[in-house]
Amino acid sequence: MKVKLILPALTEAKSPFWRPIKYSLFPPLGLATLAAFLAPDDDVTLVDDHIERLATDDQPDLVVIQVYITNAYRAYALADHYRALGCHVALGGLHVTSLPDEAEKHADTIFVGPGEQTFPQFLADLRAGRPQRRYASSGGRTIHGLPPVRRDLIKRNRYLVPNSIVVTRGCPQHCDFCYKDAFFTGGRSFYTQRVDEALAEIDRLPGRHLYFLDDHLLGDRRFAEALFEGMRGMGRLFQGAATVDSVLRGNLIERAAEAGLRSLFVGFETFSPVNLAASNKKQNLARDYAAVTRRLSDLGIMINGSFVFGMDDDDESIFDRTVDWAVRHGVTTSTFHIQTPYPGTRLFETLARQGRITSGNWDLYDTRHVVYRPAKLAPEALEAGYHRAYREFYGWQNIARAAGSHDSLKHRAKHFFYAAGWKKFEPLWDLVIKGRRLDMMTPLLETVLSKVTAPPRLAPATVPAVLSATAG
């Protein structure tokens, strides 16, 4: 069987004039994971539309397309094209799960929820000539015993972070603005790999650098402890994501630092208790954000802070206050977002019920445009403040000021070059992307992520022999 797996791109990612680096960071692991279920003699092609030319003059037996909200229209156009050629087209992903009836109009088969359990059944049905229209994940979800990700299908030289990895699914938190709850409806919303399988997948990856794309790497303490214990001595440098409360609780973050954690995405989101309560982000309530930055900085871990603008308690002061706080507390990089009510979330339901949704154009649901009526801000002021926050945070003066907040000279230098390299040298990134040699930048990234200070050693009694532990 001839199979084509496609991740459609946004228009700006295909521009011949400008290719933002953010679209060349990670390969499409979801599709590579599904490819592992195909037969050894299947002819498989994986195309990431962000980093390569997508030819549409072929006629595979099966076309599988991953759909998220801001590529939905392109995904549907590709699906319609291949269906017209007589190919069997299957659609899956976050947007399909959120709006299955919309997606089903463009597909022969759709997948609702995570596909590890349903995709093998679909393949069996397809080969038997009786594929169903809809497969929905539910019940006892697991990622134990999955076949190895088909990394041979990934064009490593075209990504800055080819060694991306996912060892959990979902998140134990339930924030109103997050897609996750809709995607995992009907079954477990957070579960993990076996530790030995995760370590085996890590061992397959060349080089030193890893990026854990998990929503919450520290979400299951038992699993994370075992994972980090197994990674000690492997010489890895890795990045990941975690919540404010998990950084402050216990000594798990120290274990992560000993295993090689050098950069962490932290969802601060908002300073307002009213906003936190309204969005059900209870894990941040009554937490000392400054203590989070101090603890991470003391461990030599750089911080990518996430902040959301436009929640109901936000006024005109939110932009300057957020930038000033992030700079003063040594946040290395910041990801700013305009609150976006994704369909399928409780936030969307609330704003729709209140008559505050102002656009159904999915191209605008990119956290850069206002698609609802804010409570205390004009839409124009919200968009302008969002762009100003980016300009000011990544201004040379603020990059230097934030870098200077750290104690060691090495950490200051690492902060400065990481932040500047991310936002101030975009023409260089564009040149390397067009030359298809992003792999040349990986050693530089590893150098910047090298250890700042030796994390405090854990007492032997606090390091249990948990390599055989499993979770989920």
Range scoring the smallest mean pLDDT among 68-82, 237-251, 287-301, 420-434: 420-434
Which pLDDT does position 282 carry in this prediction?
53
Q: How confident is the model at residue 455 (pLDDT cuts 50, 70, 90)?
A: very low
pTM given for the model? 0.91
Angle between helices 221-231 and 252-259 (to 10 degrees): 30
| Mean pLDDT (whole number) for 159-170 | 94
Q: Give how far the C-alpha of residue 78 lies from the chain's centroid of Cα atoms, to the nearest Å.
A: 24
pLDDT above 70 covers a percentage of the chain that reads 93
Please determine, for residue 470, whether its predicted confidence score (pLDDT) is greater than 70.
no
Q: How many residues does the chain have?
A: 472
Of 10-19, 129-138, 450-459, the range with the highest mean pLDDT is 129-138
Name the phi and psi angles at 74, rounded to 5: -70, -40
| Mean pLDDT (whole number) for 109-135 | 97
The tens digit of pLDDT for each residue in 2-32 reads 999 999 998 777 777 777 888 899 999 999 9
Round to whole Å and give the CA distance between 13 and 25.
12
CA distances 109 to 4, 177, 182, 324, 454, Å, are 15, 28, 19, 49, 52
Which pLDDT does position 204 carry in this prediction?
94
The domains found in the chain, sorted by start residue, are: 2-136 (3.40.50.280), 155-448 (3.20.20.70)
The tens digit of pLDDT for each residue in 134-160 reads 999 987 789 999 999 999 999 999 999
The tens digit of pLDDT for each residue in 191-232 reads 999 999 999 999 999 999 999 999 999 999 999 999 999 999
